């Protein structure tokens, strides 16, 4: 059952929501701290780590609340996958009232960290900082339409140095069955799991961090899904109407050759070179909407090409697909590139609209981090990292469903729960002394 009632108060709808989710926790005594944890994530506050939330939700018994919340998130053995499945079942009806799911969106997000003990922390690219730094990175899969999106899978990326270090794994509680996987491999596993769980299939969207991985794109195609994925300007492509040379005819001696070829005069080009060589008439202004009342526009070209990456190891050329290129009129050169296996008869407008729908995941992460404290967990272990993220997504799911019940005049930021007063003189550990 979805969250359909608009006659009850936010408090009563929240109670019904957490009661439905509590059934996945395994023990009845986890229901109360689960409700408190979700409430703490939804209530206003600068920090959504355990101690400040305990003070917000139970100001009369902060220490006891702190202990129960900490046990729920860091110690209790309940399934993140089962909880996220239940969140999806509860929230998707509210999303689908505004239209069918249009896309599955893959992305990752980073959390800056100090030190080396938090699970998975390493010097790697952190999107939040826009550079390489000490951080954790998690990969997620969201389902989306034009109205909203919801993360349905979430997993920490474990760098190879961590995956191959038994001592660090043991201290952080990394499960034995977790082995090193690249981020695209994690994403493909999430997609495969979603398909097996019966999630309605849709096109897959991802940025260039995933789109440049040929095995990732081939994996999506092998699962029967279309994609629209970012690529780099250096990605090699066969221009429209061209493809690799056919295998050499067998001379009758030696092993017969069966692989396509290229030579010094017949070679693929980079996506950037392809874009710069397109005639002026190939570029057209196209508009799209990004979930607001503002219509955005830019200049795009869409051409049918064949990806060329290592196709000399194949017996046949890769199938044709779309290359979508954005070149704003105020830029000296193209700025963004995508590959897509959407049908050959799809319109340019539909291609652009699909590529730009990936903006939804940026809204997910913005709200999960800024409003729900996704990056505020202070523990170091594998279980706590994932439990906290799952509880953040559960709270986010309630917000998605609840927004349909809040009158437009109340605004998106109207509180959905009553706010108890903090105890007199409360100051979380580590915060500056106001005196």
Confidence at residue 77, expressed as pLDDT on a 0 to 100 scale:
96
Confidence at residue 1, expressed as pLDDT on a 0 to 100 scale:
40
Confidence at residue 360, expressed as pLDDT on a 0 to 100 scale:
86
Confidence at residue 404, expressed as pLDDT on a 0 to 100 scale:
56
Confidence at residue 248, expressed as pLDDT on a 0 to 100 scale:
82
Confidence at residue 421, expressed as pLDDT on a 0 to 100 scale:
55
Confidence at residue 142, expressed as pLDDT on a 0 to 100 scale:
97
Confidence at residue 6, expressed as pLDDT on a 0 to 100 scale:
43
SS (H, E, C) the chain: CCCCCCCCCHHHHHHHHHHHHHCCCCCHHHHHHHHHHHHHHHCCCCCCCHHHHHHHHCCCCHHHHHHHHHHHHHHCCCCHHHHHHHHHHHHHHHHHCCCCCCEEEEEEEEEECCCCCCCCCEEEEECCCCEEEEEEEEEEEEEECCCCEEEEEEEECCCHHHHCCHHHHHHHCCCCCCCCCCHHHHHHHHHHHHHHCCCCCCEEEECHHHHCCHHHHHHHHHCCCCEEEEECCCCEEECCCCCCECCCCCCCCCCCCCCCECCCCCCCEEHHHHHHHCCHHHCEEEEEECCCCCEEEEEEEEEEEEECCCHHHCCCCCCCEEEEEECCCCCCCCCEEEEECCCCCCCHHHHHHHHHCCHHHHHHHHHHHHCCCCCCCCCCCHHHHHHHHHHHHHHHHHHHHHHCCCCHHHCCCCCCCCCCCCCCCCCCCCCCCCC
The CA-based dihedral angle spanning residues 296, 297, 302, 306, taken in that order and rounded to the nearest 10 degrees? -50
pLDDT digits (tens, 9 = 90+) for 220-246: 999 999 999 999 999 999 999 999 999
pLDDT digits (tens, 9 = 90+) for 286-303: 998 754 567 889 999 999
Confidence at residue 363, expressed as pLDDT on a 0 to 100 scale:
84
Confidence at residue 5, expressed as pLDDT on a 0 to 100 scale:
43
Please, what are the averages of pLDDT over each run of 10 residues along the chain (435 residues)? 52 92 94 95 90 89 93 97 97 92 96 93 90 95 93 98 96 97 98 97 97 98 98 97 88 75 93 97 89 79 96 93 97 98 97 94 90 93 98 96 59 53 55 52
What is the distance between the alpha carbons of residues 382 and 175, in angstroms, rounded to a whole number?
Answer: 8
Confidence at residue 425, expressed as pLDDT on a 0 to 100 scale:
58
């Amino acid at each position: 059952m979805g969250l359909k009632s608009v006659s009850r108060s936010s408090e009563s709808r929240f109670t019904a929501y957490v009661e439905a989710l509590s059934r996945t926790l395994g023990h009845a005594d986890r229901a109360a701290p689960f409700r408190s944890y979700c409430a703490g994530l939804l209530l206003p506050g600068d920090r959504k780590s355990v101690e400040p939330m305990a003070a917000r939700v139970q100001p009369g018994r902060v220490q006891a609340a702190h202990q129960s919340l900490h046990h729920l998130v860091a110690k209790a053995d309940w399934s993140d996958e089962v909880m996220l499945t239940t969140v999806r079942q509860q929230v998707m009806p509210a999303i689908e009232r505004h239209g069918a799911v249009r896309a599955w969106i893959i992305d990752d997000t980073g959390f800056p960290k100090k030190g080396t003990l938090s699970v998975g922390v390493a010097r790697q690219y952190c999107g939040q900082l826009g550079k390489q730094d000490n951080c954790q990175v998690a990969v997620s899969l969201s389902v989306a339409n034009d109205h909203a999106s919801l993360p349905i899978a979430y997993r920490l990326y474990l760098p190879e140095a961590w995956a191959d270090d038994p001592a660090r794994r043991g201290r952080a509680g990394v499960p034995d069955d977790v082995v090193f996987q690249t981020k695209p491999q994690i994403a493909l596993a999430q997609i495969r799991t979603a398909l097996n769980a019966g999630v309605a299939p849709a096109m897959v969207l991802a940025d260039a961090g995933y789109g440049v991985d040929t095995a990732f794109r081939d994996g999506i195609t092998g699962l029967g899904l279309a994609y629209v994925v970012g690529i780099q300007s250096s990605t090699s492509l066969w221009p429209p109407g061209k493809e690799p040379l056919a295998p050499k005819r067998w001379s009758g001696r030696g092993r017969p050759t069966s692989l396509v070829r290229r030579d010094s005069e017949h070679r693929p080009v980079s996506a950037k070179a392809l874009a710069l060589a397109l005639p002026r008439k190939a570029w057209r202004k196209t508009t799209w909407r990004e979930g607001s009342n503002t219509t955005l526009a830019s200049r795009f070209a869409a051409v049918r090409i064949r990806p060329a990456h290592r196709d000399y190891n194949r017996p046949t050329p890769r199938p044709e697909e779309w290359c979508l290129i954005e070149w704003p009129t105020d830029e000296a050169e193209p700025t963004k590139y995508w590959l897509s296996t959407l049908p050959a008869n799809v319109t340019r407008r539909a291609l652009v609209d699909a590529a730009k729908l990936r903006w939804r995941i940026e809204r997910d992460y913005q709200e999960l981090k800024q409003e729900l404290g996704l990056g505020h967990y202070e523990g170091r272990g594998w279980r706590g990292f994932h439990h906290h993220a799952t509880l953040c997504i559960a709270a986010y799911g309630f917000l998605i469903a609840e927004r349909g019940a809040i009158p437009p005049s109340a605004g998106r930021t109207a509180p959905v729960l009553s706010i108890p007063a903090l105890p007199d003189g409360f100051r979380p550990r580590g915060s500056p002394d106001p005196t």
